[in-house]
Amino acid sequence: MPFNKRANYDLELAECTPNPGFQEDRGSSQDYPAVLPAEVKREADGEYTQIKPYAGMPKEVLLLYSSQARYRVPREVLFWLTVACTLALLAVTVAIIVMSPRCLSWWQTSPVYQVYPRSFKDSDGDGVGDLNGIRQQLDHFLHLNIKTVWISPFYKSPMKDFGYDVEDFRAIDPIFGTMQDFENLLADMHQRDLKLIMDFIPNHTSDKHRWFNLSRTRDPSYEDYYIWTDCNATDPRPNNWVSIFGNSSWTYDDVRGQCYLHQFLKEQPDLNFRNPKVKREIVDVIRFWLKKGVDGFRMDAVKHIFEAAHLRDEPQVDPDKPPEEITTEWDLYHDYTTSQLGLHDMLRDWRAEMDAYSREPGRYRFMVTESYDYHEIDKTMMYYGTPLIKEADFPFNFYLLDLPQNASGWWVKHLVHLWMGNMPEGRWPNWVVGNHDRPRIATSVGQAYVPVLNMLLLTLPGTPTTYYGEEIGMENINITASEVQDPFGKYNISNSRDPQRSPMQWSGEVNAGFNTETNLTWLPVHPSYPSVNVETQRADSGSVLAQYRSLNALRQAELPLHRGWFCYVHVDSNVFSFLRELDGLRRAFLMVLNFGKEPATTDLSSVSELPDQLEVLMSTNPANDGKVFQKSRILTAAGEGLVIRYHTDTRFNPSRPGQCYVSEKACYLSVLDLLYKC
């Protein structure tokens, strides 16, 4: 660039870093220096011709040299290399995001633990468990590595059905505490990264509910909130419909002069969901608790929500049976009182409400449905929704509750396959072996089989549900007629659900540590509590509790166990065996579970994908941990289960697609230690 003005020359030298080659002119400040340094040469036309750039050079000099090839080319190479690396990194990031399988949600990674609040922990000495009692025992869930807790009803209630008869959906019953107690419990649970699932009872209310009292007096706004029909006060049977608890599902109301429907107790009148106002009321209740911060709902008795409007008699199972002898639910085909048109539309509406509150990251709201459909499993599967419209995250799977009917490997496989073979593709399974309505599994199949049942529960694919006390092997209590609390048992003591609802056994102290303030318990404590309790079993590495905890930790730590393939390997009269594997991962797991009455030798020599020698990672008999078996001769005692970890490069599932299931296929890339869709 031309540089002819002397004033500029002096100015730039004065402003820049001192140049060691510059010689100050002692003469007139208006004259150029007589001689420039050898390093700074200038032609007559004012252009610089020096060979090397120097520190403090003016920008004109810098631009002159920066345009030379030896400076320009490296600069451009570095620039385009940076652009290429940025684009490559962006492409890899997008590819990883696109190819990565969906992350499992919180309700998929942890077992669901059911708390029956009356029986879990009493904090105030009245003999009944409460919300503060649950709060005191939150560390128990952390010890078991459980993140999801389902609490049975604690709404304000007359307690005719222990909370399933709701008097006020927006209030806590004083026997369990206050709304502040609930909010404190929820805050403490969230602080510990625990999720709270509430029981929600949409089908009916208590007859003490404000809505019912207004409806029976024919208040114009509430007149049709329940199912009313004309009937005769002396013979209140508009049709042959029967209550779940027995006898007619209709009761005459003197105030209104009509009969109302109740599919459960007469103190639990059914809501009329064909009334849009009722639908809005229930949605408002759901929103109320979601705003409180609850993480999900277990929707109770959903198949009963709608009834046929025509109120016709239901078909009799035995057509020849006299109508007056139709007194139990098993006497009728429930064509008009269960699974009616409109049910699934409403469940989808509730799902939409849950989704609206699930937009905050990490705050997904979970929904599970309860419906005993027995042999009509296709009806149960409908609660998953359709490929386009989701309903429940899963419906409860109650088929393992039938395990006591036939203790054999064949029967266990049948019950497992009943779900896996009917579940819609891509859906998430779940497993239940006990709850507040069914006898404890330790009583119905025997204490010796509890560890192998827990092993089955925690190694099958999907989400297991544990009823309080199953983690220590609690059994049913024996009660006398005078001790019966359950209204179902008051009709027939053999139907009482009290035996499986006894107080939780925390320690060997008085009342098993359930109530340490007084000597009151709402039901008797099981006499086994001095040895079968949490405190004792936490100190014993071979206890049922310790094995449950270890299995749950293994399940959550190992990819094949919580999101890998599930494949049937072997079944006989004693043993049910399956494996869990993940494509791309050499590590896999084989389960050999003996549900029979005698020892068994299992021969898996025909399974070429298994190595010849198999080492036991965990046995329900700790003495067998680490034992090595030949695959042609795997020994198990009656009630023993084995978790065998092995390594192989050959997958089992590709050659046996009819024996294997996976909810969402994923592969493991060992080089990058990541999962991808495949």
Question: Which residue do the tokens 């649970």 mark?
Answer: 189
Residue 624: CB atoms within 10 A of its CB come to 16
Tokens describing residue 132: 């503060």
Q: From the candidates 370, 393, 583, 640, give the one annotated as an active-site residue.
A: 370
User: In angstroms, rounded to a whole number, what is the distance separating the alpha carbons of residues 663 and 425?
Assistant: 7
Question: Which residue do the tokens 């009583």 mark?
Answer: 443
User: In angstroms, rounded to a whole number, what is the distance separating the alpha carbons of residues 158 and 284?
Assistant: 22
**DSSP 8-class letter at 610:** S
**DSSP 8-class letter at 81:** H
Contacts of 138 (CB under 8 A, 6+ apart): 188, 189, 192, 194
Contact status, residue 434 vs residue 440, Cβ threshold 8 Å: yes
Helix, strand and coil content of the chain, in percent to the nearest 5, comes to: 35, 15, 50
Residue 230 is among the residues annotated as catalytic for this protein: no
Nearest to 384 by CA among 414, 344, 339, 416: 344
* 433 torsion bin: left (phi>0), alpha (psi -120 to 50), beta (else): alpha
- Amino acid type, 242: V
Q: At 60, is the secondary structure helix, strand, or coil?
A: helix
Contact status, residue 415 vs residue 581, Cβ threshold 8 Å: no
Ramachandran angles phi, psi of 551, nearest 5° = -65, -40
Residue 487: CB atoms within 10 A of its CB come to 21
Contact status, residue 4 vs residue 67, Cβ threshold 8 Å: no
Residue 370 is among the residues annotated as catalytic for this protein: yes
| 3-class secondary structure per residue, 614-632 | EEEEEECCHHHCCCEEECC
Alpha helix (H) residue ranges in 24-105: 59-66, 69-99
Contact status, residue 634 vs residue 605, Cβ threshold 8 Å: no
Alpha carbon distances (Å) from 211 to 51, 67, 71, 243, 270 = 98, 87, 86, 22, 11
Q: Which letter, b or e, does each residue of 362-381 get, where b requires 16 or more Cβ atoms within 10 Å of its Cβ?
A: eebbbbbbbbebeeebebbb
User: In angstroms, rounded to a whole number, what is the distance separating the alpha carbons of residues 500 and 435?
Assistant: 8
- Alpha-carbon torsion, ordered 210, 213, 218, 219, to 10 deg: -30
Contact status, residue 450 vs residue 458, Cβ threshold 8 Å: no
Q: From the candidates 167, 270, 300, 471, give the one annotated as an active-site residue.
A: 300
Please identify every residue annotated as catalytic. Answer: 300, 370
